[in-house]
A and B are shown apart, each in its own frame.
Chain A
């Protein structure tokens, strides 16, 4: 822990970063996002299994940053969001001081201790405990035995459903939606200044919390993530109604990988899947 504090303190002292977006523990022992502006603030920075938030969501508001680098503490999953934001012109790599942390999993329920049963789904199939690139690296890497990827089993089950059954499944899930848009607010890839759901002339999405409006909102949100979702699972974590939103986004990520060999947010140089045409693209969907 001292290592992270020290790195951040040095970065702020040496002006390698103007401020650092990180985590701190509040008086109720909850780990929350925190922006350290001074070397003294850096003392409060922390990282643990309870540091669940993807802090990259704050980055797009600094996209025309001119006052020095922004420090950010990232887990390997969060770094994909940072990479994706760079790919999508929302921030420049040169404007960032990336403090990578070795992560061995984060909790599902922040009120409980980290253990085999209290692990986020994304950690169960996480491939990289260490971020692939960074300006500084903190935390020791620890090995934890991860439980089975039960979401993959559920996805396989949904794949086998008929179209009608699937519609029924999702209708039942979307029925719960209260249109609070927490999924959108927490998503690092949802950086539009005006979301399509707020566009009223003409109105694209019925914004009432009816089953029709819910369906179109959730499907359009999912489609706007096609080939773009980096899989941080923040939408599902933020959803107060417990809708399994990542079933949709993860599925689309898998399709993007199986059909085009592409994973968003994994390379700073690779052209993005959406917006890139190649003559070798499959056309077998045209019947």
Chain B
């Protein structure tokens, strides 16, 4: 075997601590090596040409590159070698950067180690075999989890490109938080007006299958070939019969007992309900926890009045499975509920602000509902306690955000903007009112964002006070807000009629569970993790699963929409080819020695191990052995490590290769 060795300086990254020419010289003397050279940037075009040229001139069979992590450029070098005529899997990378130069200081020692690493790789490559990539078909359908603005955008983009989409929403209607908002910054256009046409478009789109009131239960398979089980929660209403006339909700005797989720608890709804008049689909569901029939077995008022006989009390949760090629996660966020928390909770809450105790201390989403034309006050700014117009209103920013002791260390990003918007909306409706904003910093990066905040301050005369509020208490129907103006260095006391807290955005409670179902990572706050913070921001570490919107981190509507379109584009890239090429690095069973204990099956995280029956020519069962589904196997090697008789090998990482590497080490 003729081996070529190429040592990369990686600019100064490797060259600074490793004497690359010396490494190249040492490698030239290794048995089997017929060519050895070093170059400043081996991954560059001239660098790759050096490799190609050497392959052609010296008829190399295998190549070893000493460079950065194989994560970074293994593909580059494999491609280069393939184009020069040798099999891509006859290439091995010795990681001289992350494993050597970056972590050492002494040049002589690091150079010695680099030579060792190169020797291991040279010994290993002698046992490499040419491999062919595996081709698997792609199911050209997408699953979008979450029907907020991100999910809607992603679903529409994919569907408009001509591919089918399954959109799963856990609530009775799509729309998400955006449907609750009054106006949106920085243009103050009506949220519902821009959102509801899109909701209807989703519903009417021939390529979109909308599964509302449903949740993803289980996900199997892999990129291009997922099998998703979806739980369709019992609506107690036959969707295909219901016309959405609304008579049932009107006649439902439970009017006051259930708090409206859509109005953030500021109004009541019936037991059978649609979340809001523009809901999509416009089909009510029965909330069984409050419904009289489900509690006592009597009532059935909705059933009596329904002319379509659409009410079905016996309905059960059903399960449907969908085959999809990609999954877009757009499950959104929720607000940090900041009432006083029990001592043992990791989040301490803000008992001193009296949220939950004083009716007139509300959060941002509640203010959105109050300001909204479709809200409980029909858009009039009235405080919850006595429905009077507040003449003095206080907004407090960073409640839970940027506060490690009681909340979260991160910035919720949207609060500066929506607080400015709230203050502005208030001033537009209550001309003689006074608005105060307590802030730490104003973060208004974004197109026309800073201008928007300046407008609130300069044109609408909102009083911005830099400082925190220490306490809020009620006195004679007024909320006494005690804080500090840190710029003036003075304490501030404001007698407010209404206080709005800009509470932190947090991840959905079920996010970690969903992450486990999808096999994707999440951070300590429960936000899903991207594959690379800069270069792969919408991808996850699981191929074919993409992220959109606030389930990844706090973000506003324009950013969520952009991310959703990006995730849709990533799905479409996947659907661009009929077959997916997969690395041939997968496990292989030696059927002659497999004893069929199936410990490999138990440890396999990808359900890639199946049972295979071996029969003789008469058809008699001789034995049952493990069999690797090459489509599912990800080549992680766990089965390989578990097998007691070493009857499973990982192709491309077989025992001979590993032993050659270890033996080369032992020879030092």
Which of A12-20, A38-46, A199-207 lies on the face that meets chain B?
A199-207
Known: A274-B599, A275-B599. A195 touches B642 (CB 8 A): no
Known: A201-B656, A272-B602. A194 touches B597 (CB 8 A): no
> Is A276 interfacial (CB-CB < 8 Å)?
yes
Within 8 A of B (CB), among A61-105: 63-64, 66, 88-90
- B16 interfacial contact with A, CB 8 Å: no
User: Do A202 and B655 have beta carbons less than 8 Å apart?
Assistant: yes
Bound-state CA distance A89–B601 (Å) is 11
Chain A proximity of B515: nearest CB distance (Å):
13
Residues on B with C-beta less than 8 A from A277 are: 603
Q: Which residues of B contact A274 (CB under 8 A)?
A: 599, 602, 642
| With A88-B597, A88-B599, A271-B602 as contacts: A194 and B621 at CB distance below 8 Å | no
Distance in Å: Cβ of A169 to nearest Cβ of chain B = 26
> Is B647 in contact with chain A by the CB < 8 A criterion?
yes
* Nearest CB on B from A7, distance (A): 30
Which positions 190-238 of chain A face chain B at CB distance < 8 Å? Answer: 191-196, 199, 201-202, 204, 224
The segment from B34-42, B65-73, B588-596 that touches chain A is B588-596
> What's the minimum C-beta distance from B604 to chain A, rounded to whole angstroms?
9
Find out whether the CB atom of A194 lies under 8 angstroms from the CB atom of B645.
Answer: yes
Cα A201 to Cα B654 with chains together (Å): 11
Find residues 155-198 in chain A having any chain B CB closer than 8 Å to their own CB.
Answer: 191-196
Q: In the complex, what residues of B have CB within 8 A of residue A201's CB?
A: 655-656
> In the docked arrangement, what's the CA distance between A88 and B600, Å?
11
Contact A193 B594 (CB under 8 A): yes
Given A64-B622, A64-B623, A275-B642, does the pair A202, B659 have CB atoms closer than 8 Å? yes
Among B597, B646, B659, the residue within 8 A (CB) of A89 is B597
CA distance A277 to B605 in the complex (A): 10
Residue of B nearest to A199 (CB): B646
The count of A-to-B residue pairs whose CB atoms sit within 8 angstroms is 61
Please state if A195 and B645 are interface contacts (CB–CB under 8 Å). Answer: yes
User: A81 → chain B, closest Cβ, in Å?
Assistant: 14
Query: A residues within 8 A CB of B646?
Result: 196, 199, 204
- Residue from the set A60, A193, A195, A274 with the largest chain B CB neighbour count within 10 Å: A193
Closest to B590 in A: A194
B contact residues around A66 at 8 Å (CB)? 620-621
Residues 124-179 of A contacting B (Cβ, < 8 Å): none
A196 to B599, CA, bound (A): 16
Least CB separation from B621: chain A residue: A64
B491 CB within 8 Å of chain A: no
Q: A64-B624, A274-B642 are in contact. Are A90 and B597 (CB under 8 A)?
A: yes
Cα A199 to Cα B593 with chains together (Å): 10
User: A residues within 8 A CB of B592?
Assistant: 193-194
Q: Is the CB of B598 within 8 A of A193?
A: no
**A-side contacts of B596, CB under 8 Å:** 63, 89-90
Interface residues in A225-273 by Cβ distance below 8 A to B read 271-272
Q: Is the CB of A194 within 8 A of B647?
A: yes
Which of A89, A191, A196, A276 neighbours the largest number of chain B CB atoms within 10 Å of its CB?
Answer: A89
Q: Is the interface of A mostly helix, strand, loop or mixed?
A: loop
CB-CB nearest in chain B for A225: B644
Q: Give complex CA distance A199, B592 in Å.
A: 13
B584 to chain A, nearest CB (A): 21
On whether the beta carbons of B645 and A193 are closer than 8 Å, the reply is yes
Q: Are B598 and A196 in contact (CB under 8 A)?
A: no
| A204: B residues at CB distance < 8 A | 646, 655
From 100 to 124 in chain A, residues with beta carbon under 8 angstroms from any chain B beta carbon are none
Indicate with 1 or 0, residue by residue over B578-622, a CB within 8 angstroms of chain A CB atoms: 000000000000001111111101110000000000000000111
Q: Are A191 and B595 in contact (CB under 8 A)?
A: yes
Q: Closest CB of chain A to B120's CB: distance in Å?
A: 15
User: Across the interface, do B595 and A192 meet the contact criterion of CB distance under 8 Å?
Assistant: yes
Residue of A nearest to B601 (CB): A275
On whether the beta carbons of B593 and A88 are closer than 8 Å, the reply is no
The smallest beta-carbon distance between B351 and chain A, in angstroms, is: 32
- In the bound complex, how far is the Cα of B602 from the Cα of A272, in angstroms? 9
Distance A275 CA – B593 CA, assembled complex (angstroms): 20
Q: In the assembled complex, how far is the CB of residue B504 from the closest CB belonging to chain A, in whole angstroms?
A: 27
Cβ of A187 to closest chain B Cβ, rounded Å: 12
B662 closest partner in A (C-beta): A202
B645 and A196 form a contact (CB under 8 A)? yes
Contact bitstring B620-648, A, C-beta under 8 A = 1, else 0: 11111000000000000000001011110
Q: Report Cα–Cα, A56/B368, bound state, in Å.
A: 72
Q: Which residues of B contact A191 (CB under 8 A)?
A: 595, 597
Which residues of chain B come closer than 8 Å to A88, judged between CB atoms?
A: 597-599
Cα separation A195 to B593 with both chains bound (whole Å): 9
Residues of A within 8 A of B655 (CB): 201-202, 204
A281 nearest CB across to chain B (Å): 13
Shortest A83–chain B CB gap in Å is 14
Which residues of A are found within 8 Å of B601, using beta-carbon distances?
A: 275
- Per the 8 Å Cβ criterion, residues 211-265 of B in contact with A are none
Residue of A nearest to B657 (CB): A202
Residues in A neighbouring B595, C-beta threshold 8 A: 60, 90, 191-193
Min Cβ gap B617→A in Å is: 16
Contact of A276 with B622 in the complex, beta carbons under 8 Å: no
* A127: min CB distance to chain B, Å: 27
A271 and B599 alpha carbons, distance in the complex (Å) = 11
Looking at the complex, which one of A64, A90, A192, A272 makes contact with B593 (CB distance below 8 Å)? A192
Shortest Cβ distance from residue B596 to the other chain A in the assembled complex, whole angstroms: 6
Please give me the residue from chain B that is nearest to A277 by CB atom. Answer: B603
Q: A191 — nearest CB in chain B belongs to which residue?
A: B595
* A275–B603 alpha-carbon span in the complex (Å): 5
Q: Is the CB of B603 within 8 A of A89?
A: no
List, in ascending order, chain A residues with CB within 8 A of B659's CB: 202
CA distance A90 to B594 in the complex (A): 12
- A89: B residues at CB distance < 8 A: 596-598, 624
A276 proximity list for chain B (CB < 8 A): 602
User: A199 to chain B: which residues have CB within 8 Å?
Assistant: 645-646
- Closest chain A residue to B654 by CB distance? A202
Q: Which of A64, A224, A272 is B644 in contact with, Cβ under 8 Å?
A: A224
Distance in angstroms from A87 CB to nearest chain B CB is 9
A113 CB, nearest partner CB in chain B, Å: 39
A196 to B641, CA, bound (A): 13
| List of B residues within 8 angstroms of A64 by Cβ | 621-624
Looking at B602, B622, B645, B659, the one whose CB has the most chain A CB atoms below 10 A away is B645
Name the distance in Å between A171's Cβ and chain B's nearest Cβ: 21
Q: Which of A199, A202, A276 has the most CB of B within 10 A?
A: A202
- Distance in angstroms from B276 CB to nearest chain A CB is 38
**What is the chain B residue whose CB lies nearest that of A202?**
B659
Residues of A within 8 A of B620 (CB): 66
Q: What separation, in Å, do the CA atoms of A202 and B666 have in the docked complex?
A: 15
Bound together, the chains give a CA A196 to CA B642 distance in angstroms of 12
A192 touches B645 (CB 8 A): yes
Q: Report Cα–Cα, A195/B643, bound state, in Å.
A: 11
Nearest-neighbor residue (CB-CB) of B642 within chain A: A275
Inter-chain contacts of A224 with B (CB < 8 A): 644
Report chain A residues within 8 Å CB of B593: 192-194
Q: Which residues of B contact A271 (CB under 8 A)?
A: 602
Given contacts A64-B623, A192-B644, A202-B659, 15 further A-B contacts (CB under 8 A): A63-B596, A64-B622, A90-B596, A191-B595, A196-B645, A196-B646, A199-B645, A202-B655, A202-B656, A224-B644, A274-B602, A275-B603, A275-B642, A276-B602, A277-B603
> Which residues of A are in contact with B by a Cβ distance under 8 Å?
60, 63-64, 66, 88-90, 191-196, 199, 201-202, 204, 224, 271-272, 274-277
The 10 closest A-B pairs by CB, nearest first: A275-B602, A192-B645, A194-B593, A202-B659, A88-B597, A192-B595, A275-B599, A224-B644, A64-B621, A275-B603
30 A–B contacts from the bound complex (CB under 8 Å): A63-B623, A64-B624, A88-B597, A88-B598, A89-B596, A89-B597, A89-B598, A90-B596, A90-B597, A191-B595, A191-B597, A192-B593, A192-B644, A193-B595, A193-B645, A194-B647, A196-B644, A196-B646, A199-B646, A201-B655, A201-B656, A202-B655, A224-B644, A272-B599, A274-B599, A274-B602, A275-B601, A275-B602, A275-B603, A275-B642
